[in-house]
Each structure stands twice: as C-alpha cells, then as structure tokens.
Amino acid sequence: MTMSKSPAEIFGYSFPDIRETQLLIVGGGPAGLSAALQALKLGLKVTLVESGLELGGQLVKQTHKFFGSSLERAGTRGFRIAQELIKELTPFKGSGQLEVYLSTTAIAVYPERIVLLSQLSGKVFPIKPKAMIIATGAQERMLPFPNNDLPGIYGAGGIQTLMNQYGVKPGKRALIVGAGNIGLIVAYQLLQAGVEVIAILEAMDRIGGWWVHAAKVRRYGVPILLKHTISRAIGKEKVEGAVIAEITPDGLKDKYQVECDLIGISVGLTPTVDLLRQANVKMKYVAFMGGFVPLRDREMRTSQSWIWVAGDSAGIEEASTAMIEGQIASTSVAKWLGYISEEEAKREIDQLWARLGYLREAEVSSKVRKGLEEVLVTWGG
Amino acid sequence: MSKLSNLIPPDEQVSFWSGVLDPESNLDLISVPPEDLWREKRAGLVVIECPQEIPCNPCHTSCPTGAIKVEPLTAIPKVNYDLCTGCTICVSKCPGLACFVIDKTPADYSIVKLPYEMYPVPKVGEVVDCLDRTGKPVVEGEVLNVTEPSRDGTKVIWVKVPKGFEMTVRAIKVKGGE
Amino acid sequence: MWLEEHPILDFSSKRPKLVKFYFEGKEMWGYEGLPIAASLHANGIKVYRYSTRLNRPRGFFCAIGKCSSCFMVVDGVPNVRTCITPLREGMRIERQRGLGKIDLNLIQGEAGSDDNV
Ligand SMILES: Cc1cc2nc3c(=O)[nH]c(=O)nc-3n(C[C@H](O)[C@H](O)[C@H](O)COP(=O)(O)OP(=O)(O)OC[C@H]3O[C@@H](n4cnc5c(N)ncnc54)[C@H](O)[C@@H]3O)c2cc1C
Ligand code: SF4
Ligand code: SF4
Ligand code: FES
C-alpha cells in the first residue's frame, strides 16, 4: 500500500499556519451529527466538514418515517430527524466550540495527522486535529448492462436528492432495479412525487428489503418482478426504454420491452472508505458489510490510534445504529483526550452497546452481526 | 427474436415475498380482531399486517391505551383487542403503513380507516377507487372523513366499503388522476 | 419540471429566488442557491457532457459530487461538479466535451471516475 505524499511534496511548500482543532469529524450525516453532539456535550472543540450543501447526509432525502426504536427517533421522518439533530447543534454555534464547514470535502490524510480540506470555491487548506472521526457514509453500486451510462439512468440516491432535496420531478415513467429497502422506498417516493412506476425488478426469488415497504408500493399497483433484471437500456441521447429479462436456469430470457424516461438503480451500497485507505487504516473485505471496511475496536477506533469510524463508512447499516456509533466514537475520543474518566466512558459505552444489541437482534440484522464478528478487534497496548 | 410484450400484467407475480399478503393463508402472521368483539366495537378495531420480524416499534410506543406490544423490539406486534379503541393513532404513526382500523358496526356497510401519504388528498364526500393489496380497483367508496392524527403529513382516510370488503381494501385512489 | 405539490414536502423555503442563467447561450430560469444540475434538469436538460473517449452523452448520476458524471463548463471553467455547485444569476453553462483542464481534485484521485468507457 502506498503512503500519501505529504503536503510539502505535493505543493512544493508547506502551509504557513495550519489550523488546529481537537476533533475533526468528516461527514455530516446522522453518524457525524450525533458524534458532534456527543463530543460537544463532553466539552470538546469540534470541527465538522460536510461536502454537501447542507447537513444531514442520507436523512435529508428521506420522506418516510424511520424504523427502529423510538429512542433513536423511529416514527419520525428522515428529513425531520436531520432537522432535529441540526437544531440541537445550534446552541454550540458561536460558542467557539463548534466550527461547521459546508461544501467542504476532506480529500487527503497525511501521516503527520494533517487533513486537507477542499472547498467548492477552489480553496484548499490543511487542518491538524488531535483526533478524527470518519463518518463519510456510503456510495451506490452500479450495475453493468448495455447503455447503463445513458442520462436518465440514476442511482436511487441520485433520484432522491433531485426529487426530495431539490424538488425536481426526475421523470414521468420510472423503472426500478433492485427490491432492497432503498429500491422499495424510492419507488414509493416516486409515487408521492407523481411519477408513474412501471415495475421493480429483483434478481433474487424474494424481495431483499422489508416486507412492509414492498406492501406499500404493491397496493398502488406497482408490480415487483422476482427473478427478473434489466437486460439493456434503450435510447440515444437519453434513456427512452428498457428490456426486462427473466432470470432462468438457462440464462437471461428477454420478456418485456417497456417505455420509460427514468431508470433507478439500487443494487446496494458500498462504504466510502477512500480517506481510511489513505490513512493506511487496516481494512478487511466483508461482503455482509458492503465491501472493504475498517477493523475497529469496541470504541469504534481504527488501527490508526487517532482515527475513529462511525456509520455506513464502517459497514452498511441503519441511521439508528449510525447515530449510536457516532456517540460511541466521540465518547472514546473524549476519554482519550482526558475529558471524561475511564469509568465514565466505560459506563456510557456499555449503555450505547446495549442499545446497539437491542437494535441488531432481529433476523434481518443477522448479516450485520456476522460481519461484525469479522471486524471487531482489540488493539494491543 | 419474438416480439416482446410492452405491458407488464399487474398480477404477473402475486406472492408473499413479492409483497402481497394472502389474507387466508397468512392469517397467522397478522393481527385480526375476534369477530364478536369486532362487530360491536364502535369506531372499529385495528388490523396489523406486519408479518416479518424487523427492528421497529412506533405502533407500540404510540398507542395511548397500550393495546399493541412489540417486545422485544424485533417481535411481530401483538394486539390486546380489549384495549383497542380504534383511535387510529397507530395507523398514522406506523412507518410501514401496516396498521388499519376497521369499523364493522354500521348495518349496511363498513368503514376502513387507512393511512394515506399521496397527492391529491380526497375531500369528504368524494367517491374514490378502493384498491386491493395489488393495487387493483375492486369497488368504489365514499370518503367519510379525512384526519391527520399525528399532524405530520400522514392522513387517515375513512372510506365506506360494502360488507365483505373489509379485508380486501387496503388503499384508495382519487379518480381522474393519472 | 419543478415539483409544486407534494404530500409531505414543502419546497418553498428552498426556493428563495428565481434567476436567469444561460445554457449553451439559451436563456433559462432556475433557483439561486440550488445546484446547477437541479435547474438544468427542471428545464428538461439531461445531457451534461460527452465522455472523453467514446463521446457518449452523460447526465448526472450520484448527485453528491462523487462520480464526475455531471462535469460541465461554467463561466468558462471546465470540470465543475454541477450537482453540488450552487446556481448564481447570469451563469453561463456549457456542455463539456472531453476532459477539460485537469484540476487538483482529479490529481488527488478523490473522485471514483466512471470514465473508462
Ligand atoms: C432510501 C433509504 C432509506 C433508509 N431508511 C432507513 C430507516 O428507515 N431507518 C434507518 O435507521 N436507516 C435508514 N436508512 C439508512 C440510513 O439513511 C443510513 O444508514 C445513514 O444515513 C448512515 O449515516 P452516515 O452518517 O453513516 O452516512 P450518510 O448519511 O451517508 O452521511 C455521510 C455524509 O458524509 C459526507 N461526506 C462523504 N465524504 C466526505 C468527505 N470526504 N468530506 C466531507 N464530507 C463527506 C456526505 O456528503 C454525507 O453527507 C435508509 C437509507 C436510504 C438510502
Ligand atoms: S387504534 Fe388506537 S387504541 Fe387501537 S391499537 Fe391503534 S393506537 Fe392503539
Ligand atoms: S410500527 Fe408498523 S412496521 Fe413497525 S412494528 Fe409496528 S406495525 Fe410493524
Ligand atoms: S453527479 Fe456525480 S459528481 Fe455530480
């Protein structure tokens, strides 16, 4: 594995005054936001950077009420959860304890514990934290099929951003590929925005998402075709249709040719781990968690003693668990920096783990539990 | 190659794992009120169609009378029908839109109170299409009331259905829309 | 098309000001402060650039600044991620053909480029 070059090597000069902070949190989704809140409550000075135009991560695009336990705000719509978390942060703004940078992306990590931030304006500047929590969330997987690069073929997350965050009707007739929770929910959200959904295709012999999410779209007449997939998209400048094939023991059998101006791909997420890689954090490929994920201890600390992880970037899961992991990471940072005692930290982290256990008990979480067995470690010394 | 059909029949796949409940054979997985109590309870009783163990409990935590229990968090909800008042709070709070309140007390029709988060919202008195679990319009029904118990955007529509359609109608569609 | 009626969401607070901008010289209207790509899409523009090698049309994909599919030329500057760059009054936006000038972000290898076709 190659080490990142130092800023001096890249830019030919070193930065005169490097901003310092106690805790740098990269990513302003539920994991990053709850990590920030917890750290602020424990007295730390926090810098939060988010590459998007607003805080909230995945939450701001979710119009549905969240599952989980009411303790983690289940029953509240995703975008409202984001608003609530952001509101809780406001008292800390202007107190000098919290700095928030929007439209700012952490693009590089250097062994000297320097992180390079790049702003939309083109400005690039370094920051030197004592500790860092990576909460960069996840990225969507793409599916290979002919013409999959045509405009009008978007990731499910892209559709949600366009439609629910910015209020643009993404198309008139949509086809969704993938009946996991995200595909099912996006189909429902498209109906809410007045877009016709022709069908949801699922390669497996059963829906991958939760049954109730499927029932919600079925009762509005959206078919879910099991053991079907898209065999190609049709169109020149943008998507005009698709060929749907049945998956049979003898291979794909083309079955329908439909007209559509929107195809939503939702075949899974993979953790966003570029920064962790750059920092040479020890990683492992765990299919159950969505791809390469960092090894971490019970306190969400990675093999680099100054770097912690939380949320989907530590393994694809839920907003509820992401929020708890964020709190665990910040509690651990506070302990390391001497803001709370060993005993206090242990008590708090034990309680947070109890809540994680409670959330992960279900059959539908069995994959996460298996995945964790592979990545949960104890760092020596 | 033979010509491909450009219409997907709506009932191409109707099975439990494509998201459609069979109210006969999946009865043990859902909560349905006992018939004698149901016939008498004014305002109706809750029917819960949440047949999979998922980590979720807002139905439990929102019910003002403690009629629904989800314990542990991942269990399938259990209803104590003596406690249910048919208040429809769970109907509006359940993220899976899996709770329905059904009132069988009127002599010549029943009322299905179902969650609704679509546009447009029907008016009281309007006649709408009543859809079954696959979205097929099965009968027309008059909207008797539109409420918003949790004031959070999820409406509860009270729709009048003929006797015998209580366990069939699960959604409505405003006429004239696309 | 902009969404006006939605059962759950109210977009009015996110749409403070309608401003004029230019796409390939044509006058269009969009909301200031929202990403450029949103206003283009609402105006029916779905092709944002042509790919480097095979000259294939590209629209947006990830919508969160991670995939480079939406790079356009904005006020003469190439490789602008229109999905996360806010629209300003009077902006001149052009489809990008080919690579444009390399910028620092690309050297850093931060974007998982999908440009290998
Ligand atoms: C359709 C859908 C439905 C869902 N439903 C539920 C549900 O009902 N219940 C539930 O609990 N969960 C649900 N989830 C899952 C939940 O949204 C995610 O698990 C959760 O958002 C993960 O939080 P996170 O903070 O780790 O990541 P994210 O929410 O993805 O946030 C990561 C943030 O980091 C930013 N970022 C990334 N890289 C950088 C960088 N280099 N520099 C600066 N910023 C960066 C991103 O812009 C983003 O804002 C759903 C998800 C989807 C997509
Ligand atoms: S209808 Fe009211 S009383 Fe009955 S279960 Fe639902 S919330 Fe409880
Ligand atoms: S709130 Fe709805 S989805 Fe959640 S457990 Fe209760 S009935 Fe099921
Ligand atoms: S659409 Fe992916 S970077 Fe803009």
Whether cis (ω within 30° of 0) applies to the bond prior to B149 is: no
Residues A93-107 have pLDDT tens digits of: 888 899 999 999 999
Residue with tokens 């997985």: B29
Q: Is there an atom of ligand 3 within 6 Å of B56 CB?
A: yes
Q: Note whether B120 contacts A: Cβ–Cβ < 8 A.
A: no
Which residues constitute the domain of residue C79?
18-98
Looking at all shown ligands, the one closest to residue B58's CA atom is 3
Number of neighbouring beta carbons within 10 Å of residue C62 = 24
- A167–C1 CB contact, under 8 Å: no
The residue among A235, A265, A295 that closes a domain is A265
Residues 99-118 of chain A with CB under 8 A from chain C are 103, 105, 107-108, 116, 118
Per CB-CB distance under 8 Å, the chain C contacts of B120 are 5
Per CB-CB distance under 8 Å, the chain C contacts of A140 are 62
| Confidence label for A269 from pLDDT (cuts 50, 70 and 90) | very high
Nearest-CB residue to A364 (from B19, B50, B54): B54
Is the domain of A234 the same as that of A276? no
What integer pLDDT is reported at residue B177 of this predicted model?
61
Give me ligand 1 centre to Cα A320, in Å: 11
Is the domain of A187 the same as that of A259? yes
Q: Is residue A1 part of a domain?
A: no
CATH of the domain at A66: 3.50.50.60
What integer pLDDT is reported at residue C101 of this predicted model?
53
| Confidence label for A14 from pLDDT (cuts 50, 70 and 90) | low
What integer pLDDT is reported at residue C65 of this predicted model?
83
Q: What is residue A87's three-state secondary structure? A: helix
| Percent of chain A predicted with pLDDT > 90 | 82
Is the domain of A279 the same as that of A359? yes
Q: Is residue C110 part of a domain?
A: no
SS3 of chain A: helix, strand, coil, percent, to 5: 35, 30, 35
Please list the ranges in chain C whose pLDDT falls under 70: 99-117
Query: Which of C2, C64, C67 to mutate to test binding with chain A, by most A CBs within 10 Å of its CB?
Result: C64
Backbone angles phi, psi at A8, to 5 degrees: -60, -40
What integer pLDDT is reported at residue A72 of this predicted model?
74
Closest residue by Cα to residue A213 from A192, A184, A240: A184
State both tokens at A117.
């931030």
Q: Is residue A186 part of a domain?
A: yes
What integer pLDDT is reported at residue A358 of this predicted model?
85
pLDDT at position B47 over 60: yes
Query: Which of C5, C9, C51, C77 to mutate to test binding with chain A, by most A CBs within 10 Å of its CB?
Result: C9
Give me ligand 3 centre to Cα B77, in Å: 7
- A362–B74 CB contact, under 8 Å: yes
Residues 52-91 of chain C with CB under 8 A from chain A are 56-66, 83-86
Nearest residue on chain C to A151, alpha-carbon basis: C59
Give me ligand 4 centre to Cα C71, in Å: 7
CATH of the domain at C22: 3.10.20.440
What integer pLDDT is reported at residue A150 of this predicted model?
94
Residues A31-80 have pLDDT tens digits of: 999 999 999 999 999 999 999 889 999 999 888 888 777 777 777 889 99
Q: Name the strand (E) or helix (H) holding A154.
A: strand A153-155
What integer pLDDT is reported at residue C112 of this predicted model?
31
Query: Which of B11, B13, B16 to mutate to test binding with chain A, by most A CBs within 10 Å of its CB?
Result: B13
Which residues constitute the domain of residue A155?
142-265
Give me ligand 2 centre to Cα B84, in Å: 5
Q: Which residue has the higher pLDDT, A7 or A309?
A: A309
Cβ–Cβ under 8 Å, residues B76 and B138: no
Q: Is residue C22 part of a domain?
A: yes
Across-strand partners of B129?
A: B140, B173
pLDDT at position A319 over 70: yes
Q: Note whether A312 contacts C: Cβ–Cβ < 8 A.
A: no
Q: Is residue C5 part of a domain?
A: no
CA distance C9 to chain B (A): 9
The protein residue whose alpha carbon is closest to atom 4 in ligand 2 is: B84
| Confidence label for B7 from pLDDT (cuts 50, 70 and 90) | confident
Of A232-246, B11-25, B98-112, where does mean pLDDT reach its minimum?
A: B11-25
Q: Is residue C94 part of a domain?
A: yes
Mean pLDDT of B110-117: 98
Mean pLDDT for chain A overall: 92
**Number of the ligand 2 atom closest to the C-alpha atom of B93:** 7
Mean pLDDT for chain B overall: 93
Q: Is residue C113 part of a domain?
A: no
pLDDT at position B118 over 80: yes
What integer pLDDT is reported at residue B25 of this predicted model?
82
Q: Is residue C2 part of a domain?
A: no
Q: Is residue A2 part of a domain?
A: no
| CA C41 to chain centroid | 9
Q: How many CA atoms lie within 13 A of B71 on its CB side?
A: 6
pLDDT at position A149 over 50: yes
Q: Is residue C71 part of a domain?
A: yes
A57 burial (CB, 10 Å; 0-12 / 13-18 / 19+) is buried
Q: Is residue C106 part of a domain?
A: no
- A225–B4 CB contact, under 8 Å: no
Is the domain of A20 the same as that of A60? yes
Give me ligand 1 centre to Cα A57, in Å: 5
Q: How far apart are CA A133 and CA A35, in angstroms?
A: 8
Nearest-CB residue to A220 (from B94, B96, B135): B135
The residue among A206, A235, A265 that closes a domain is A265
Number of domains chain C is built from: 1
* Among A24, A50, A58, A76, residue to substitute to test ligand 1 (most atoms within 8 Å of Cβ): A58
User: Measured on CA atoms in the order A210, A212, A215, A220, is the torsion positive or negative?
Assistant: negative
ipTM: 0.95
Residues B154-168 have pLDDT tens digits of: 999 999 999 999 999
Write the DSSP string, A237-263: SS--EEEEEEEETTEEEEEEEEE-SEE
Write the DSSP string, A264-277: EE-S-EEE--HHHH
What integer pLDDT is reported at residue A5 of this predicted model?
58
Is the domain of A207 the same as that of A283? no
Amino acid at B92: S
The residue among A265, A290, A325 that closes a domain is A265
HEC string for C16-39: CCEEEEEECCEEEEEECCCEHHHH
Number of domains chain A is built from: 2
State both tokens at B88.
């429809």
Q: Is residue A352 part of a domain?
A: yes
Residues B86-97 have pLDDT tens digits of: 999 999 999 999
Q: Which residues line ligand 2 (CB under 6 A)?
A: B 46, 63, 65, 67-68, 84-90, 101
What integer pLDDT is reported at residue A130 of this predicted model?
97
